[in-house]
Amino acid sequence: MWLNGVRAAAVAGRRGGAEEGERSMAVSLRESVQRVSDPRNLDASVEEVFRLMLGIECAGHTGPEVRDEESVTAVVGFGGLLSGACVLRSGAGTAMKMVAHMTGMEFSQVDDTVKDGLGEICNMLAGAWKGKVPELAANCGLSIPAVITGRDYNLHVQAPEFQVHHVYRFGEETFGVTIVCDGLQ
C-alpha cells in the first residue's frame, strides 16, 4: 500500500507531471526537517524496539559508551527522500547480550547469528525511526543491514545534513545509536 505514492509519482513522471509531484514531496520533507531530526524520535524508537521486541528496558545514558576491545556495528541505509543511515554500535559482549534477549540463545563469541541478530535489531530501529514521520514512512526505503566487527575503526560521513547520536544503557551494558542524514530531497 505504501508504494502507491511512489508508483503514482513514477506514472506521473512518464506523463511529464513528475516535476510537480517531486516539488511537493521535497517541500513537505524540507518543511518537516525539524520533526525528522527530532532526537525524541530516536529515543522513542529505541525504547519501542528494545521493550517490545527484545524485552529489555533501556534508558538514555549520559556517560560515555563502554565498549569491549572488539566493537560490533550494524548499519542500515536510508534511500528515497532521505539518504543516510541508522548505525547501532556496541561492544561484542553487549551485542551478544542483545541478541541473546532476541533469540533466547546464549553466545560466547560474535558468530554469524550475533551479526545477523544485531543487523536485524538495527533494521527494526531504522524502520521504527522512519515511521515517526509520515513523509519518511511512505517515501524512504531501507537497505539490507551490513555488520562490521573489529577493534579500532570509525565510521565517517562527510558533511551530514544532520546527525543524532544517543547512548543507551540496559543493566551494565551501553550502546550507541546514530541517525545520520547526508541528503534530503
Task: Answer whether 169's CB lies under 8 Å from 59's CB.
Answer: yes
Assign 53 to helix, strand or coil: helix
Q: What is the mean pLDDT of each run of 10 residues along the chain (185 residues)?
A: 39 42 50 83 96 94 77 96 94 96 96 98 97 89 96 80 93 94 87
> What is the structure's pLDDT at 30?
64
> What is the structure's pLDDT at 170?
94
User: What count of Cα atoms within 13 Å lies in the side-chain half-sphere of residue 28?
Assistant: 14
C-alpha torsion angle, residues 81, 53, 119, 133 (rounded to 10): 10
CA distance 107 to 119: 16
Place of cell 553466545: 107
Q: Is the pTM of the predicted complex or chain greater than 0.85?
A: no
> What is the structure's pLDDT at 19?
46
> What is the structure's pLDDT at 66?
66
SS3 content of the chain, % helix, strand, coil (to 5): 45, 30, 30
> What is the structure's pLDDT at 10?
39
CA distance 184 to 84: 9
> What is the structure's pLDDT at 85?
96
Task: Answer whether 45's CB lies under 8 Å from 121's CB.
Answer: no
> What is the structure's pLDDT at 35?
80
